[in-house]
Amino acid sequence: MSSGIALPFFDEIHQLAVDIVNASAEGDTKALWSNYQALRKLCENNEFSPRNHPFQWEALADFTCDLNQALKIYRKALRYANEKNLVDYSASITFAMANRLYDDGERDAARELLVEADKLAQSTNDLELRREISALLLACCE
């Protein structure tokens, strides 16, 4: 997916994501929480600036444990993606929401979002995302 954002901004979010994953793998709750809060703060600081981008919000939602809170953040990310007409991000965010719902056992809600994500993804060149959406859509129909 083409990010459309400045590389230093992407790198900053990517590094926080890597730090969160590494802290989780090491069982370092303090580092995990600290990096999550840094990502949250970065999102909040950028929200009403030219640096605001759905990528940051999607990353924050991906690492938000509470499903309802994560869905709120995903919806915010989706709103920003739609405002900027970033279809790749809209498809990715919609898929992420569906994936979280599927993992929580909400297959009907997940299926609805997957159908939407599939429609969005078909207008992109992201074949990997399209494949992942199709695979989860098939799993929802079992």
DSSP 2-55: ---S-HHHHHHHHHHHHHHHHHHHHT-HHHHHHHHHHHHHHHHHHTTSTT--HH
Band (9; pLDDT cuts 50, 70, 90): confident
pLDDT digits (tens, 9 = 90+) for 10-54: 899 999 999 999 999 999 999 999 999 999 999 999 999 988 999
The backbone region for 49, taken as left when phi is positive above 0, alpha when psi lies in -120 to 50, beta otherwise, is: beta
DSSP state of 49: S
Mean pLDDT value across residues 115-133 = 96
User: Phi, psi at residue 12, to the nearest 5°?
Assistant: -65, -45
Q: What is the pLDDT of residues 77-121, one digit of tens each?
A: 999 999 999 999 999 999 999 999 999 999 999 999 999 999 999
Q: Is the pLDDT of residue 122 over 60?
A: yes
Identity (one letter) of the amino acid at 79? R
Answer for the pair 110, 101: CB distance below 8 angstroms, yes or no. Answer: yes
Structure tokens at 102: 């599927």
The position carrying tokens 């297959």 is 107
